[in-house]
Structure 1
């Protein structure tokens, strides 16, 4: 994914605009199905769409599935929901893509597992399906027709800036708990590398985790010394996060900053720290209701909130419109995807980094 210069970060006004949009989407989930089916986009023919997520257990993907299912009648969409069995199940997604082609669906919404599904996506597009990636831009970005996603680089940068501001010049001994160590996924390297850039740590290859200098100076918020202890994969799961954190602590028990790919990983990391009698500043990304609660309780110092319902419903509406002769969506200026928004959530704000509180985030979060 080409990394382009970022425009100035969102102000509170933009955050509240995203919140309002999300609230409208949530309100849409409560509409009566009879009236929606009757409206059916002016009585147009029903459009077949499949939503393929990485799994059906992560609260982020569950929220995406439920939101799309609740909103499908609004656009007279016949929605099929599928997923891999777990993170890393390329074949499960490939099978779902092939099934969509066989059914004659008009489009696919997919959170692509890895480059391993690229060939199947190409096959679908060659068959005439319009393919929108959600949350995870594929590599390369033009594998799909367009991506609706959080700017994961910006999300990582926000929590990195917050971490540097919180450290306030003190030495930072850092653990990086990533998604995979055997796959290259854009959401993985963009969040990790964005975090480092936010702290003011030079990255080497912007599409590769773990090749930056292990010691040096972080320059954000006045700067200080840093040591990177580890890049460990937690597979986006709580148990994986705990195991990854245990491995990092075995190398250096004095870790005081922990970057995590998502909030289940953060909870697992915290459990490992508690078991070892240690504390650290933990930052994460997702903004689910459970993650926001972890910010409020102090388990997570800050998280970057994203909006999966908006990704799914806007993507589904786009496919329905295109199938009926509407215009195709275009990327936002300066990006190669449509940005669905991000907001830093913390109850310990730092100067120069725009944020919302956990109470504000709880009003617009997703999941349980």
Structure 2
């Protein structure tokens, strides 16, 4: 049976027209992007991709930084509506709190595409473009099980923030993939998670979380993070404490260039593919087709980028030292 994502890809490919040929309509082309934050390389890269793609189409691009404040992001979206954007891309701070603002934008005739972070699917938007947190996590978990080959692991998990559904999907995807990988290899699964720290999605947060974990559990030999930034911070903490040797580092996402550089050097295990550039540009492409009435009615409300685990075996396909992220 063909997967909904493959159907979506086929539908999208089947209706491809030259969007750059829309320059004649540039005067009416206004794209808004509401980011939950720009205070991280990942989000900055995503915003830059949307801005670049919009400008390639000859569109005006309006951008806002929610500064991790849901009320500010709601105000930002209301401002985009007042400025009459035709397409609005939203990376939401909160999966429930942004629903009324998104519904109001759609009611005003604006095509809304959600990118990356989760929003309640009951909200009125065209589609949600993101990487598959669960599938990426599972691939990373299976990689871990294969790499360890039955060797015992004392695991610490570094999570973003409590109650975040994307973070939960990432870590539980890794756990599931790790257990399934062990069962496939030996028919026995052993999982010893001794700590969970909260890093707030930042490198500095990863440092702080790992420092606490080292104090309570100095024997940790596997660190799993919900993104690369926190694991890179954890690595700094381990190095400062002279505990880095023998610790395997991996993340459920994102493919940050600093992590990929370490993977190339054999100093970092693996990460999941969560390309902010690809997500942002795909959101613009789908959104503009919706604006122009070229998106098929059957197009799914959830569009997933193909999952991938990035390790030393394939890192050269993804490492771009000059990228924003």
Give the TM-score range, shorter chain: 0.7 to 0.9
Aligned to 2:177: 198
Out of 148, 152, 161, the residue aligned to residue 129 of structure 2 is 148
Asked if the contact 1:132–1:148 (Cα under 8 Å) also holds between the matched residues in 2, the reply is yes
Q: Secondary structure at the match of 1:93?
A: helix
Aligned to 1:187: 166
Aligned to 1:24: none
Q: What is the CA deviation profile of residues 223-260 of structure 1, one whole-angstrom value per residue up to 9, with x for unaligned ones?
A: 44322112221111011001111222222211111111
Relative to structure 1, the CA distance from residue 290 to residue 318 in structure 2 (aligned partners, 3 Å threshold; closer, same or farther) is same
Asked if the contact 2:102–2:123 (Cα under 8 Å) also holds between the matched residues in 1, the reply is no
Asked if the contact 2:138–2:178 (Cα under 8 Å) also holds between the matched residues in 1, the reply is yes
Out of 238, 249, 255, the residue aligned to residue 282 of structure 1 is 249
Aligned to 1:14: none
Alignment map for 1:88-107 (pairs within 5 Å)? 88-107=68-87
Out of 126, 131, 136, the residue aligned to residue 112 of structure 2 is 131
Aligned to 1:209: none
Aligned to 2:17: none
Asked if the contact 1:97–1:124 (Cα under 8 Å) also holds between the matched residues in 2, the reply is yes
Two-structure CA RMSD over aligned residues (Å): 3.0
Aligned to 2:196: 231
User: Unmatched 5+ residue regions in structure 2?
Assistant: 7-12, 14-19
**Alpha-carbon distance between aligned partners in 1 of 2:52 and 2:255, rounded to the nearest angstrom:** 21
Alignment map for 1:112-123 (pairs within 5 Å)? 112-115=92-95, 116-123=97-104
Aligned to 1:367: 324
Q: What is the CA deviation profile of residues 171-203 of structure 1, one whole-angstrom value per residue up to 9, with x for unaligned ones?
A: 22111111102xx333211111111111117xx
Out of 286, 303, 306, the residue aligned to residue 341 of structure 1 is 306
Q: Secondary structure at the match of 2:286?
A: helix
Asked if the contact 1:90–1:113 (Cα under 8 Å) also holds between the matched residues in 2, the reply is yes
Matched, 1:263 2:231: no
**Alpha-carbon distance between aligned partners in 1 of 2:265 and 2:40, rounded to the nearest angstrom:** 21
Calculate the TM-score normalised by the size of structure 2.
Answer: 0.84
**Alpha-carbon distance between aligned partners in 1 of 2:298 and 2:38, rounded to the nearest angstrom:** 29
Out of 85, 89, 97, the residue aligned to residue 109 of structure 1 is 89
> How many Å apart are 1:107 and its aligned residue?
2.4
Relative to structure 1, the CA distance from residue 361 to residue 322 in structure 2 (aligned partners, 3 Å threshold; closer, same or farther) is closer
Out of 295, 310, 324, the residue aligned to residue 263 of structure 2 is 295
Relative to structure 1, the CA distance from residue 275 to residue 73 in structure 2 (aligned partners, 3 Å threshold; closer, same or farther) is closer
Task: Count how many residue pairs are aligned between Structure 1 and Structure 2.
Answer: 309
Q: What is the CA deviation profile of residues 263-295 of structure 1, one whole-angstrom value per residue up to 9, with x for unaligned ones?
A: 110111111222222231111111122221121
**Alpha-carbon distance between aligned partners in 1 of 2:322 and 2:226, rounded to the nearest angstrom:** 18
User: Unmatched 5+ residue regions in structure 1?
Assistant: 11-20, 22-35, 202-216, 348-355
**Alpha-carbon distance between aligned partners in 1 of 2:142 and 2:297, rounded to the nearest angstrom:** 32
Calculate the TM-score normalised by the size of structure 1.
Answer: 0.75
> How many Å apart are 1:155 and its aligned residue?
1.0
